Structure 1
Amino acid sequence: MAAQNEQQVLDTNQTHFTIHLQNTTQADNVHAYVKGIDIQRGDLFLLRADGKTPYYPANPPSDGAPLAHDCAIKLGPPGSTTPVTIPHLESGRIYFVIGKLVFALNHGDSAPALVEPSPFDLASKNHDVKWSFTEFTWNSENMYANISFQDFVGLPIGLTLKSGDKTQHVAGLPAGGVSTICKKLEHVAVDHADWAKLVMKTQNGDYLRAITPYNGMTLHPGLFDDYYDKYVDSVWQKYKDQTLLVNTAAAGKLKGHVEDGKLKIGGETFAKPSTADIFSNNSGPFLNQGSDQRKAIIPLLCAGFIRSTLLSDHETPDPDGRQDYYKAKVTDYYAKIVHNVLPDGKGYAFAYDDVKPEGAKDQSGRVQASNPDNLIVTVGGH
C-alpha cells in the first residue's frame, strides 16, 4: 500500500514539462532515473518506471530503506527516444545507467534523504556499472540544465534545448570518451603526482570512469597532498611585488597583493590554499561563505589555480581565455584532459568552470531558456 503522501498521477493543478531521453549507446538495457525537489510541494520527487507517475517517498523509520517503487525508466533500443514528464523541480538530476542503479532512503528530521550513487565507493553495489547524470532545474522562470564532470566522467551525456527558433546544444563526450580520458590520465608524467589513480576499471579490466582529483584524494589518502604547494608559493612571491587584478562582475576590478603572508584583495584576506582547497573549490580560504565581495572573489581565484593562469597573467579571469589555460606543468590535468576530449570543450570539470573573461565563449556546458519548448538529453555520445 502506498504511503499517504504518495500519489499515483501528476497533479493536474501543476504545470508539466516533457523531457525526451535519447539512447545513442549500443545497448538495449539502458535505464534512467529522474529525481529532484518538487517546488510546489517542497518534497523529494522521483519518477516511477513508466516515466510519468510521481513518487514522493515517505520518511523511513531507519536509514538505508529501499525505494518503495521501481524508478528505473527503461529506454528504448539504440536510436530511440523515451519521453518523461515532470512538474516544476529544483536540484534535479537525470541518471543514466547501462543496467540498473541502487538508491536508498535515509531517515531525516522531517523528510527522507535520498542516498544517491557514489562514483568512488568501491563497496557500493553501483561500483561496477557504467552510469552518469546531468543536472537540471525547471521552474516558472526557466529551464536550466548542465553537463557536469565535477565528481567524475562516466557515460557520455549531451543536451539540446529548443526555445522558439533558438537551439542550444552541448555535445558532451563522444562515444568512447571515457576510455580516451582514462588513457590520457594514465600517461600524465608529473613528479610526485599519480594521475593514473583517478582511473577506475571494472573487474574485467575495462575502463569504467575517471574521478576528479579531490575524490581521488579521498579515495587514496596522500595522493596530491602537496601538489600545488610550490605553485602557490610562487604566486605569493609574485604578488608581493606586483598587483593582482581580480575582475569581478559585481564589485568591479579589485586589486590584490600579498602582505604579511596573506593575499589581500579588496576588503578580503586569503591565506595560502592547500592542494585540497584548490581541488575542492570549497574549503580553507575558498570556503564559500562571508561577504558578497568574498563570494565574488573565490570563484576567480579557484579558476586561476585550477587553470594555472595566476603566474602567466596578473589578471583573473585571464583576459586571453582558453588559450592560456592549463599551460603550466603544475595544473589540473583532469580538467585539461576532459575539456580537450569534449568536441565543443563544454562541460563543468570543476565547480567554477563558468568563470570566463568578458566576451569569451562559455565552456561550462549549460543550457538555459525562459520559454523552453523541448529538452533532449542523449546518452551514449555520437
Structure 2
Amino acid sequence: MNTRQRLPLTVAAALIALLGFVLPAPTRAAAQYAQGGAGSFPITFRNNTRGTYTDSQIFVTVLGQVTPGQWSYMKPDGSMAHINHLDATAPGHLVKNGVNYPNMSFTLARVGGTVPSPASIRGGRIYISLGSPLYLPVSPDDQGWGGPDLRNPHDPNSDVYYDWYEYTYVRGQVPFGGNTTQVDQFGFPMTSRLRQTSSGHDTTRGITRTRAEVMQQYAASVGAAFKPLQNGYRIVAPRSSNLFLEGGARQQHLTTAIDQAWAHYTAHPFTLTRLGETFSGRVSGSVLTFSKNGAGPFTLRKPTSPDVMACAGALASGNDTEKQLGAEFCAAFNRGVALDTTAWYTPAAYYGGTAKNDYAGFFHTVGLDGRAYGFPYDDVNDQSSVQILGNTEPPTGLTLGIGW
C-alpha cells in the first residue's frame, strides 16, 4: 500500500493556518523570470500599435546561441530549445505555399507580454511579426536556420510585416549590447528601453513616429535612386536590395564619389586622426598603402559601390588594422564625407552632399537623438542605436515598444 510521506509544516503553511488565507500563486511573469535562471532579466513587449493589432496578433520569435556554435529558439515558457528540422512536421507546425516550417513563434497574449532572457546568448535576434508568425527553415543537420531573404521575391515572409532587435549578453563575461536596426530593412517603428538600476543606466533608442509618418517622410525625402526601395510591407536597405548590388540598376551609385576620393588621395596624402590613433598613407593605382601610429605598411584596395553599400568586399578584407580603416572608409562614403577626413568625425557634416546613402541619412532624421543603424558600420563615431552596459551584470529590464 502506498503511503504519503508526512512533510513538516512550512512557514507559508503555518501562516495560512494562522491567518486563514491562501498565498497567491506566482504570476506568469515571475515564473518565466525564474525559468531564465541566475543572471536572467525580463524582456517586456509593449503593444504600441494603437489598436491596429491585438496581443494575439503580435508574434515573437527569439533565436540565439545559448551554447556557442549551437542555435536555439525560445519556447513560450521562456526556456530555450535547440533548433530541430523535424519540428517542421511536428504537431502545430507552420505551412505556407505548400512548404512546412517549424513553429518557433509565440504571441504576446500567450506569454503575457514578458519573457525571460537567457543569462547567456550570443547573436540573439528578437523578431516581431504582425498578423502572422515568421516562416524560418532549419537546416537538415540542425546547425543553422534561414532568416527572411529580402533579395528573394518568393521568400515566404515577403508579405509579412516584421522587424527585429539584436543583442548579445553573457553574464560575467560579455556586457549586454543590443540595438534596433535598419541595416537590412524597416518594417515598422520599434523602440528599446534598457535599464540597469545598479549603474543608473536608462536609455531609449528607436523610432516613436507612426509607421505612416515614416513611410510618407521617406518617400518625400530621398533621391530618385532610393525611392524604389519602398513597398507596402517595408523599406529595404540598399545593402539588402538587388538594385544596389552587383548587376543591379544602381550598382554604380557611388562609383563617381569613390573615383574622386581615390584620385584625391593619389594627389594628396591621406591622414585620419581619431580616438588617439593616426592613419597615414597614399594611394597608388587602386591601392591605399598606409600606416597606423607609424606601424605598417598596411593596404586597402579601392572599393566598388556595392562594397560601400554592404560594407563588404575590399572594405572588410585583410587583417584587423585593414578592416578597421575599411570600416572608417565605409562610414565616410555612406555619409558623403570621404573627401575630407576632418569631417569624418563631425556629424553635422554628414549626408549633406549628393553622393551618399540617402536611406541611412533619412533614418538618422527619424531616430531618437538622431541615432540609427542605417548601414553595417553606422556605429563608427557612435551614431548607431546600439545600447551597451558598462559591466557584465544583467540589465534590470529591456522593454521593446512595437509601433504602427
Which TM-score band (shorter chain)? 0.7 to 0.9
The structure 1 residue matched to 2:400, chosen from 349, 368, 377, is 377
Aligned AA (1:137): T
Residue 366 (structure 1) shift: 1.1
Pair 299,248 (structure 1): closer, same or farther in 2 beyond 3 Å: farther
Structure 2 match to 1:298: 326
Shift in CA distance, 168/363, structure 1 to aligned 2, threshold 3 Å: farther
The Cα shift of 1:234 comes to: 1.2
Distance 2:267 2:327 in 1: 23
Shift of 1:300: 0.6
Shift of 1:178: 6.1
Equivalent runs, 1:1-382 vs 2, <5 Å: 15-26=39-50, 27-28=53-54, 29-39=57-67, 42-48=69-75, 50-58=76-84, 60=86, 66-67=101-102, 70-76=103-109, 82-87=113-118, 88-107=120-139, 109=141, 111-140=142-171, 141=173, 142-164=175-197, 166-177=200-211, 180-181=214-215, 183-185=217-219, 188-189=222-223, 194-201=225-232, 208-217=233-242, 221-247=247-273, 249=275, 252-266=277-291, 267-283=297-313, 285-286=314-315, 288-311=316-339, 313-315=340-342, 318-319=344-345, 321-356=346-381, 362-369=382-389, 370=391, 371=393, 372-380=395-403
Measured in 2, the distance between the counterparts of 1:180 and 1:16 equals 34
**Percent sequence identity over matched residues?**
21
In the alignment, the residues of structure 2 paired with residue 289 and residue 187 of structure 1 have an alpha-carbon distance, to the nearest angstrom, of 33
Q: Describe the shift of the 1:374–1:199 C-alpha distance in structure 2 as closer, same or farther (beyond 3 A).
A: same
Structure 2 unaligned runs (5+)? Answer: 1-32, 90-98, 292-296
TM-score in terms of structure 2 length: 0.77
Q: Which amino acid aligns with 2:207?
A: L
Question: Structure 1 51/103 Cα, relative in aligned 2: closer, same or farther at 3 Å?
Answer: farther
Determine the C-alpha separation between the residues in 1 that align with 2:69 and 2:262. 46
User: How many pairs align?
Assistant: 347
Distance 2:212 2:59 in 1: 19
User: What letter matches 1:157 in structure 2?
Assistant: M
Alpha-carbon distance in 1 for matches of 2:112, 2:235:
28
Structure label with greater radius of gyration:
2
CA distance in 1, matches of 2:160, 2:85: 28
Q: Give 1 or 2: higher helix fraction.
A: 2
Q: CA deviation at 1:223?
A: 2.3
- Give the root-mean-square deviation of aligned CA atoms: 3.0
Superposed displacement of residue 262, structure 1: 2.4
Q: Secondary structure at the match of 1:329?
A: coil
Kept after mapping to 1: 8 A contact 2:73/2:82 = yes
Deviation at 1:150, TM superposition (A): 0.7
Deviations 1:210-239 (A, max 9, x none): 111122235884221211121112112222
TM-score, scaled to structure 1: 0.81
